[in-house]
């Protein structure tokens, strides 16, 4: 990706790739979008892909692959044990991160299961900049607790801080002193913090956290699923690294941590996951669990074709032309939205544009899930599917009341190299219409609520008749346009 200047002076994102394979997408009329949303229980996870025009739910497993990745898939060595494919992937990972051992898994949360089973003991705590849904679930399933120690600005919607994912070092020291180092299973840094707007962590912060952990003897775990965006931001926002190549930045980061894991559905534009670890005894404990939960040690639940694609995709992650598209599109979308007065998380981060549903729908109480309602309304208005990242994505407290999220966000994800600039502009336009008609949006309530990770399958209903009124208004304003 690049940004070029037009004659008018406007700076415009310019794709540095061409499309050589396409998938047709459908834009249903608004009445059919309304029915589909009702059928899906007002949960965008439950829409069928054929009902979705632009799938901005996530980048997970849906990034575009390069021709070199596709070509590599054809040379996969398909064997249960000892496949050459595994050794090629292991070597790509070793070149990239310089860590000693690699354990393959079927996806990111599988790494979290293995790490939590190996390192979390009942009553222990895990300190982290911010949690991810599945990370928290695995830690609590193993009897641990999480403590979030992101800087205060991390959970403010608007800011000029370029690294809102940074850990607050005073909070880190304070938590260690209060809990005692023996009660801390590990400290976890998440690159490109998913739930708070894809905000990066600086190298300076990672170095300081690593120094504290090493002095206390507490293991440091790095969730590198969103490393690609984070690398881009270190290179473009951290002055000291502007002339350092992404490969050197990556190895320096890896040298600061004891365990590194990733979802290959995100990192490496493939599907799978992996854990890298230096310590032999931790490695041996984790290794026992791989055949039990994942598969033999040389595939870990991944298809060999995906492993080949991953080995190439990881190398491509070190190319600024490849990893810049998401951040540049996120920024372009945020600028369009800001120009319309729509509240978004700033500075624009990675992963996707994040709309502040608490301000957008300030008439909807948090217990009626404003971000879930806005995601449903956006689908009705545009056919674009975003993801709720707010109270719906939390679990209930033991007394049955909702845990109110610190931010109510609708995330419009930009899988790498999938969308075009006109699709970005279309979505911004429909969001602009929704902003002008925001008072038409109402709340949601559960009709079916799973106990664990309820946002995946939970079904809800609208409080009142608002979805019908919204669709009617759309028809009035847009006539026969889709």
Ligand X SMILES: Cc1ncc(COP(=O)(O)O)c(C=O)c1O
Which residue, judged by CB position, is nearest to ligand X in the bound state? 108
Residue owning tokens 């992937």: 89
Report the interhelical angle of 466-478 vs 421-436 (nearest 10°). Answer: 120
Nearer to ligand X, 415 or 458 (CB): 415
> Shortest gap between Cβ of 29 and ligand X (angstroms)?
32
Q: How far is CA 435 from the centre of its chain?
A: 25
Q: How many CA atoms lie within 13 A of 334 on its CB side?
A: 28
What is the rounded distance in angstroms from the CA atom of residue 369 to the CA atom of residue 413? 20
> Shortest gap between Cβ of 105 and ligand X (angstroms)?
9
Q: Which residues are catalytic?
A: 80, 132-133, 223, 266, 389, 455
Structure tokens at 112: 């979290």
Structural contact between residues 423 and 17, judged by C-beta atoms closer than 8 angstroms: no
> Shortest gap between Cβ of 134 and ligand X (angstroms)?
5
> Shortest gap between Cβ of 445 and ligand X (angstroms)?
26
> Shortest gap between Cβ of 139 and ligand X (angstroms)?
12
What is the rounded distance in angstroms from the CA atom of residue 386 to the CA atom of residue 383? 10
The beta strand positions in 273-417, using DSSP E, are 273-277, 352-356, 384-385, 387-389, 409-413
Contacts by 91-95 with C-beta closer than 8 Å and gap 24+?
91/311, 92/310, 92/311, 92/312, 92/314, 92/315, 93/274, 93/276, 93/314
Structural contact between residues 402 and 394, judged by C-beta atoms closer than 8 angstroms: yes
Q: 3-class SS at 150?
A: strand
- In the complex, the residues that contact ligand X under the rule CB under 6 A are 60, 107-109, 132, 134, 190, 194, 223, 225-226, 263, 265-266, 273
- Omega prior to 114 cis, within 30 of 0: no
Nearer to ligand X, 190 or 408 (CB): 190
Nearer to ligand X, 46 or 453 (CB): 453
Structural contact between residues 97 and 260, judged by C-beta atoms closer than 8 angstroms: yes
Structural contact between residues 113 and 292, judged by C-beta atoms closer than 8 angstroms: no
Nearer to ligand X, 370 or 415 (CB): 415
Nearer to ligand X, 60 or 391 (CB): 60
Nearer to ligand X, 108 or 343 (CB): 108
> Shortest gap between Cβ of 223 and ligand X (angstroms)?
5
């Amino acid at each position: 990706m690049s940004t070029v200047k037009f004659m008018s002076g406007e700076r415009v994102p310019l794709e540095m790739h061409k499309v050589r394979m396409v998938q047709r997408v459908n834009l249903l009329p608004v009445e059919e979008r309304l029915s589909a949303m009702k059928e899906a229980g007002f949960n965008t996870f439950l829409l069928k892909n054929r009902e979705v025009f632009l799938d901005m739910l996530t980048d997970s497993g849906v990034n575009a692959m390069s021709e070199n990745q596709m070509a590599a898939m054809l040379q996969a060595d398909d064997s249960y044990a000892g496949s050459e494919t595994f050794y090629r992937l292991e070597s790509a990972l070793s070149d990239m991160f310089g860590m000693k051992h690699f354990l393959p898994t079927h996806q990111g949360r599988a790494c979290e299961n293995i790490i939590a089973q190996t390192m979390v003991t009942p009553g222990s705590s895990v300190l982290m900049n911010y949690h991810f849904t599945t990370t928290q679930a695995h830690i609590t399933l193993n009897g641990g607790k999480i403590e979030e120690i992101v800087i205060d600005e991390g959970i403010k919607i608007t800011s000029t801080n370029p690294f809102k994912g940074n850990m607050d070092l005073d909070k880190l020291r304070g938590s260690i002193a209060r809990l005692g180092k023996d009660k801390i299973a590990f400290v976890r840094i998440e690159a490109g913090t998913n739930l708070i707007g894809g905000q990066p962590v600086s190298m300076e912060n990672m170095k300081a956290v690593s120094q504290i952990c090493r002095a206390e003897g507490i293991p440091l775990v790095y969730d590198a699923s969103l490393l690609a965006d984070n690398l881009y931001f270190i290179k473009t926002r951290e002055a000291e690294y502007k002339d350092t190549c992404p490969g050197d930045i990556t190895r320096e980061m890896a040298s600061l941590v004891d365990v590194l894991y990733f979802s290959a559905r995100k990192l490496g534009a493939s599907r799978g996951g992996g854990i890298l670890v230096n310590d032999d005894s931790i490695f041996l404990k984790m290794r026992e669990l791989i055949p039990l939960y994942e598969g033999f040690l040389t595939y870990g639940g991944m298809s060999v074709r995906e492993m080949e694609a991953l080995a190439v995709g990881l190398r491509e992650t070190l190319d600024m032309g490849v990893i810049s598209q998401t951040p540049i599109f996120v920024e372009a979308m945020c600028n369009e939205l800001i120009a319309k007065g729509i509240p978004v998380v700033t500075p624009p981060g990675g992963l996707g544009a994040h709309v502040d549903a608490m301000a957008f729908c300030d008439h909807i109480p948090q217990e009626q899930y404003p971000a879930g309602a806005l995601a449903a309304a956006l689908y009705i208005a545009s056919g674009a599917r975003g993801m709720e990242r707010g109270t719906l994505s939390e679990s209930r407290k033991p007394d049955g009341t909702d845990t109110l999220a610190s931010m109510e966000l609708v995330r419009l994800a930009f899988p790498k190299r999938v969308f075009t600039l006109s699709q970005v502009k279309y979505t911004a336009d429909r969001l602009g219409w929704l902003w002008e008609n925001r008072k038409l949006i109402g709340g949601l309530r559960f009709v079916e609520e799973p106990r664990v990770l309820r946002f995946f399958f939970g079904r809800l209903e609208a409080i009142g008749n608002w979805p019908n009124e919204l669709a009617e208004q759309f028809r009035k304003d847009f006539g026969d346009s889709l």
